[in-house]
Structure 1
Amino acid sequence: MQRKSPRLAILISLVSLLLCSSASAQHTLGAGSSLSVEDHARPFLVSPNATFSCGFLEAGNNAFSFSVWYTDAANKTAVWTANPDAAVNGRGSRISFRRDGGLALSGANGTTVWESKTSGSGLSISLLDSGNLVISDLSSRRTLWQSFDWPTDTLVPSQQLTKDTTLVARYFYLYYDNDNVLRLRYDSPNMSSIYWPNPDYGVFPNGRTLYNSSRIAVLDDTGVFLSSDNLRVVASDLGRPGVKRRLTIDPDGNLRIYSLDSSTGGWTVTWAAMAQACSAHGLCGRNAICVYQPSLRCLCVPGHETVDRHDWRQGCRPMYSVPNCSQAAPPEQRFKFVEVPHTDFYGYDVGYNASSDTFEHCKKLCLEMCSCAAFSYRPFEGRGVCYLKGFLYNGYTSPNFNGNIYLKVPIGFDASAQSVSARSSEGLTCNPDGPEIVQGTPDTFRASRNNAKWSYLFAFAGVLGVLDIIFIGTSWWFLSSKQSIPSSLEAGYRMVTGQFRRFTYRELKDATGNFKEELGRGGSGVVYRGVLDKGKVVAVKKLTNVAGGDEEFWAEMTLIGRINHINLVRIWGFCSQGKHKLLVYEYVENESLDRHLFDTDRTTLPWRERYRIALGTARGLAYLHHECLEWVVHCDVKPENILLTREFDAKIADFGLAKLSKRDSAAGDSMPLSHMRGTTGYMAPEWALNVPINAKVDVYSYGVVLLEMVMGCRVCDQTTAGGERLEMSQIAQALRQVVATGNVVPLVDGRLQGQFNPRQALEMVRISLSCMEDRTNRPTMDDVAKALTACDDEDEHPAYSLLLTIFPKFVANNLISTSRSSHLSSHSISHPRPAAVVVHDHYTRQQRKLDAMDPSLKFLLDEFNRRFDDHDAKWEQRFTDLNCDRSAHDVIVDCRFAELAQPSTVIDQRLADLELVWVNQKVDVTRRLSDLKVVRIQQISDERDEWVAELEVAAADINAWIPELEGVVDDLKLEGN
């Protein structure tokens, strides 16, 4: 037995090694691998350093999702999920890496719920140490798909958030907008609004910048979250080594950084975007209030009940029938108001009154306005601030808020009795499965505070006695003296109190010199230049023919007053005295676009400015259509309504024709209008078809304006040879034939003398034609802005630039002449010829010249064209290489631009962008190291298998030698004896 013990030890060691090898989790799998949901306790893949695992996670009762999570986390919080909105059944579901190279998640009935949409032979799937799930080609080591490109609600260190990716948690989105700013937005079927960074401030007051277009954000290993818009936040455990972190947008809409406690496996919040959870929009739905008692809860406003106790985003509905506004009885006999103290609702204002307004006047305005559901009133600097509310969304209550909301209810409705009855019938029950929502009355709001206050006073008086009285008196005096200072909870009033005010008619009459200097006229009024007391130059618009009394005036004033975008004209105030209705706008120095585009006596508008104006206008309209608190349709987009600043930045003006498209109206994304609006030549065809109007009418008008910026003339003035005006559809059809040739040089304004970017010109013409399609085929303004942004900062084609430098006369005679002739024809005769006819005639003349050309000259021209084509490919490759080199330094160049624009933040901006570049480089190095590690581990595994085989051969040899050795030993023993 003793002789066999070495063999037994070797055998046990080999078996143990093989068992351990087969039992260890794999980080790379080949085609044909799969995992059943019944085996959800076993991970599908584990990263090489065991930081991350992926497999099935429980998403509910008998519901599972395919996810990636931190292995050491106790609750297995997912950092990526393939099917966040479509959980699969707990029986029969399977994740499979198919032999065709696709990763697919199938349900119990075999239906594919999610797939990676990859295909090919020789593919493998790996889970890297970074948490990135990757499908790659083993032969070329090329990545075909990765989970980092499809994030759900979480970023892990080294994972980038870009312009093409978005974090989503149900109705909450973290994304980059068209202004290159990282924002949080709530977007549900009922409402949409941006709530972070603070919407009451502009981009720069929030510490952000517009000038870096790289649009990249990343969380690094030290706990720093960096964004290209100058955002830099740090976790409270900054720099602590070995800490595992994640950045998550939670179901409550807050963005937080979590750090993993290695001892307990639990997550700790180390940074949050909003210190107060009620700052997020959409938490409690319509007619509901977000409060802290002591944790976050939702309350229905008096006279309302919950729609769904398990989903507080459904909000509350009234417990009474709303009276018809057309009733003959005066509003004082039909409505009354119920006070809800220390409460406000953000947005959806239908009117604003400031300065000397009294509470009674504010109450009277809400009574007389049918669309007013409530009004907010608060004292401010000895005066009153009044807001009329059309809808009650984003409500919150805080003891520090110095204002109240007053609900308009039927005069015969007893809000207190109805609420008490509803609450008593529910009983004192707890609901562990859903959020608790109770109904509130004025007494409810007051009683909870009064009870807490008296309990606190009695307890404290018993301990401190007289000292308590002194403290209360001092505190009361301090708070009374400071009540005019707005607190951080008074969001929605800071912007208005600092920039928006009410003027008297006398003030504006004096400021404009009795309306002496006229700047322009529009369909809704005349604009005059004015100078306020402090020397501030403004534009005063005197409204005429305000239909329906004050309604249209209030709508326009409220609309412009509550939006804020760099490409939209700001409103500083208003005047409403009797028949006088005036608006006070910011003054824009360079007048409107039409005067620079169509006036031949002015300096030609350069191409770069035209492109910037087109992009700025697109971004402004995209903001109105997609990012505004309420959807806004301009209805009159034309060059006269595009104003230019001193730096030739575009600002959209004249919202007199704009209307709000209510999201809860029956029309959905359209709105009914009583009569046609807009300007002939820029109006979409649906205006004449008696169909509902939506934002696509602005898209059509923008397409016409964009084409005019390229051509430098009024497109709608094109006529036939016989003097008949051409329809826009005919012009568009002719232009499509020109675009099909790929050469739009003849269409470009001849006054530019060839100084333009041909690629941008071609893209702008294509976009304009797509905007003039049937409205179902038109793009959105958001798509247009993205398409224009994609071709921003492109240099002219190098071959074209070389030709312009070496052969300027050839270019002028053969390329620019067509454009110049087109321009002259459109400005020198009363009925200009259409551009397509000019182009066709020019091509005919050029062909005739070529046919009549001397053969030797024609040979030289053909030889030149051949050599030019040979060099064109080389220049294209060189141009691509230069673009790649330029892209590598994009962040640094953009950073330098931001430094020049903001001298006060040069150092911080420079450091932030350099740190971002360093992080990006670190990410690349980390990924390369991970790939090398995967290869090395595979090599080690192969070597280990070879070593095991050699050991087995050696063991067999040893076993064969043992009998011989035993025989030798026996012989030696015999000889010894």
Structure 2
Amino acid sequence: MAISGAPLCSSALVLLPCLFVIAMAALQSGVVVLADAADTVAADRPLSGRQRPLVSNRGKFALGFFQPENSEHWYLGTWYNQISKHTPVWVANRGSPISNPDTSQLTIATNGNMVLLDNSRTAIWSTNISNFTSNSTVGVILDSGNLVLADASNTSIILWQSFDHFGDTWLPGGKLGRNKLTGVSTRLVAWKARNDPVPGVFSLELDPNGTSQYLLQWNSTLQYWTSGNWTGRIFTGVPEMTPTGSYPNSLYTFDYVNGENESYFVYDLKDDSVLTRFVLGEMGQIQFLTWMNGANDWMLFWSQPKAQCDVYSLCGPFSVCTENAMASCSCLRGFGEQNVGEWLQGDHNSGCRRNVELQCSSNGSVVGRSTDRFHTMANVRLPSDAESVVAAGFDQCEEACLSNCSCTAYSYNGSCSLWYRDLINLQDVSVIGSQGSSAVLIRLAASELSGQKQKHTKKLITFSVLATGAVLLMMAVLVVILRRRMVKATTRVEGSLISFTYRDLKSVTKNFSEKLGGGAFGSVFEGSLPDATMVAVKKLEGFRQGEKQFRSEVSTIGNIQHVNLIRLLGFCSEKTRRLLVYEYMPNGSLDKHLFGSNQHVLSWNTRYKIALGIARGLDYLHEKCRDCIIHCDIKPENILLDGSFAPKVADFGLAKLMGRDFSRVLTTSRGTVGYIAPEWIAGTAVTAKADVFSYGMTLLEIVSGRRNVQEQGGAAVDGLLPLLAASTLGGGGGGRDELVSAVVDGRVGVNADMGEVERACRVACWCIQDDEKARPAMATVVQVLEGLVEIGVPPVPRSLQILADLANQSNNLQFFSDLPSK
């Protein structure tokens, strides 16, 4: 997919700021024209901190001295000149900061090199070129952001360029690759901290072994992420950054060159007004960013690794990483920050150190083994570099660790794992609720978990229990009584789930007499609580889970709250009966409004808001919950509408509740045909991209007001709306007018926003690609529908092409015979 920034001056709200930016750009442009060589540094025209920065020919980039936020140091570098947010893209003196820029200068030395001199006139940075072929040289900042050392008489002759010496940023036009003759790579190296350009421990480079994949490395030695090999269109591990350079209207091209002397990747933009950059952040993630004028900030298109805590040694040794809204680092119990100042600046590489050293003698024997203790840390993803030992149980595993001075932790889960010396990559997963969580026992000195402390703690606990036992008992009895009364009265406590009895729900639903609908998971009935609150009660069918697991899963679903997700109010679990109680949606399910003959016709504006709301709900399930929740059955029947026609995704999380039998339920249930992703049928592993496929099919139905595939006698015939939309977008139609007439619901077509129609159809056709790696993430879908990014023209999926051939053979539909292939 290709992306671009939102249009400049995209709304009246930003018109005045835009005009101001344009005026300032014009003023700067005027200065460039009037001032002689304002983009050039020469021996007789040095650049110091007292002067204005040099500005490239068309004003896009600046070269000068700058000071990172909250830093006392100064650096020479290049940055974007025409945006409001100071964004350095290259720094010359990363490891040699300047204290006083007014007495420092960038100039051309007598040997022709470009040099940076500090206040003592010592060269702290140089282009360091020998054997010059030119008698006179100059430094020039180009509109690409490339700083070059060139022949003064002909600046097209470049002797050195910053694009051969990247910092943390890769700009369009720069080659990121490897010289096969010298073995030297052009790498991205992250800043040490957000305000410190000193080279950090994270780097990105083309595989030195000769493959076409990029590697993220820690300390230039340990690989923790790979892009996967280049297929000619995409990196196998990063399908969301598909360049679509071969498709019409793409905004950038991405090429891999594997020559005799070098191999490299390069990307270029077709629209110079778009600002994009690849950045290796100080937290070890590679990010693709686009400048959004409307938001006045950089918009993140994608980042890898997706989970920040998957970056190797992000928090340093003896520290734990917690993945929440943002990754955070904290020291383990019994440890403190190795370098507090660095931690305050966001640099956790040094990690943590013991408050009290272990009691081991210098010869390696263990002194007072019985005094050492272990602190249990539950719900964690275990550290790296474990060593397995033979142990019959927990006690033997602990003994194996205690018997070695270098052992710092152990874990036992049927097998014994020991860690020696530093603990790296320990992750707290209690917040995200990972299924693969374990417990690790951290070894601490005796004084950290002393017997005195333990005895004192036991006394306090005993005293507390005796002092409050009667009170707690009374409170427990009171809670039980209130709970029973609450259930009988079916009064809901805000922020919690009600445990209903089956008898209660029979009464609430008038013995399940008013059916609202049904689906793969069971039937839904209308109900009314004693306080007149309307509810929808779902009777789950074909359920296999035990009560404990059911309550655990229901509790997880009940804690999920989003404006576009249906809210779970309560549940019932009695013997084999499992029921869920949801908030009531007065406007029912989406399918009745799209396909029903007697329903109110949804306007285009309402449809577009519904499509965007569904996407936001799915994005929340996929990316922002503790665990990724795959819905597995997205279709109009499972989209409910509240009183103002705002959409709410229903039945989310039920696929997990149903367990292994769900695949059988889904593929045999009526109404799901036409929404199942190809991987369901192929029997391969199902990911969140299966929901993306179903969403694409649903989006096309929202646009058209008719089913994608009609059914007669159990067979799919006619319709083929996805093929019609894809072929029209791909060149089989006559542009937007043809798209509207061919795809959009005739009841709203004349009032539809043509730009939104094309945007919706494009993203829908990307969503239904056969290869799940080519489908966008729901976060990208949201950005496209919001108009924050543009999306290229999708190819026609091969499966639709085959379906067209079958239709052509059976019905002699000549229309399908000339469709473009993928």
**More strand, by proportion:** 2
Which is higher, the Rg of structure 1 or of structure 2? 1
**More helix, by proportion:** 1
TM-score (norm 1): 0.41
* Higher relative contact order (Cα pairs below 8 Å, separated by 6+ residues): 2
